[in-house]
Amino acid sequence: MQARKASQRAAGVHRPLRRATGERQPVAGDTQRILSHWRDAVPGDRMAHLIKDATRALVRALQARLAQRSVSFGHWTFLRVLWESDGLSQRELSREAGVMEATTFAALHAMERLGYIERRRIGGNRRRVHIFLTAKGRALKRRLVPLAEEVNRIALKGLPSADVAVVRRSLLSMLQRLARDEARRLESRRRFHTGL
C-alpha cells in the first residue's frame, strides 16, 4: 500500500484532501489526470462517464474560486436554488438541489450560522419549515455568479458557437429521453403495485 502511494505521488496523483466540512478539496493535476484518462486510456468509454468527468472538472474549477471567497460548493448549490426560488420548504430545496434531506439540514444549519438564510414556519403548519435568504445571502449572488460565468467561459473558450449549440441540444435531448424512460418506469411500477 505504501509503495502504491509513493508511486502515485511520484506520478503526480494525490489523494484528495477533505476540509472540516467533509467537502473534497481540489488537488492540483486532477483535471489533467482526467483528461489524460479520456485521451489515452478509454477514449471510447460510455458517454455517462465522460459527462460525469466533465462535470467534476467544472465543479473543481468553481469550487476553487468559491473557496477564495470562503464559500463552500455545498452552500453554492443551495444559494443558486434560493436565488431563483426563495421560500422553499426544506424538502423542496433538497429536491431542487438534488441532495438528501439530511445533507440539506446540515448545510442549512451552517448557512444560518453564517447569516445567509433564515428558517421560518408559514401558516398553520408547524412542521413545515421554509428557507429564506437574508440580505447577506442575496448579496452573495453579485459576488459568486460571475465566478460560475468565468468557469463557463474558460470551458467553452475557442469552441465555435455552432458546436456549443449542438452540445446543448444533444444534452437536452438526452435528458428528455431519460425523463421519458423514468416516467415509463414509474408508471410501470405504479401499475404493478395497483394491479392495473
171 and 105, same structural domain? no
**What mean pLDDT, rounded, does the chain reach?**
83
Neighbours of 86 (CB within 10 A): 14
Q: What is the pTM of this model?
A: 0.70
Check: CB of residue 22 under 8 Å from CB of residue 103.
Answer: no
176 and 129, same structural domain? no
Q: Is the pLDDT of residue 15 over 60?
A: no
175 and 89, same structural domain? no
175 and 102, same structural domain? no
Cα–Cα distance measured from residue 73 to residue 60, given in angstroms and rounded to the nearest whole number: 9
175 and 109, same structural domain? no
101 and 179, same structural domain? no
What confidence score (pLDDT) does residue 17 get?
A: 38
What confidence score (pLDDT) does residue 8 get?
A: 43
By C-alpha distance, which of 83, 63, 84 is closest to 73? 63
Check: CB of residue 13 under 8 Å from CB of residue 33.
Answer: yes
Q: Can you give the residue range of the structural domain that contains 26?
A: 2-157
Q: Which three cell numbers stand for residue 91?
A: 424538502
pLDDT in tens, 86-126: 999 999 999 999 999 889 999 999 999 999 999 998 877 77
170 and 115, same structural domain? no
Q: Which three cell numbers stand for residue 163?
A: 458546436
The tally of CA atoms less than 13 A away on the side-chain side of residue 143 is 14
CATH number of residue 23's parent domain:
1.10.10.10
Domain tally for the chain?
Answer: 2
pLDDT in tens, 58-71: 999 999 999 999 99
What confidence score (pLDDT) does residue 10 get?
A: 38
Burial of 2 (C-beta count, 10 Å sphere; 0-12/13-18/19+): exposed
For residue 71, is it left (φ>0), alpha (ψ between -120 and 50) or beta? beta
74 and 46, same structural domain? yes
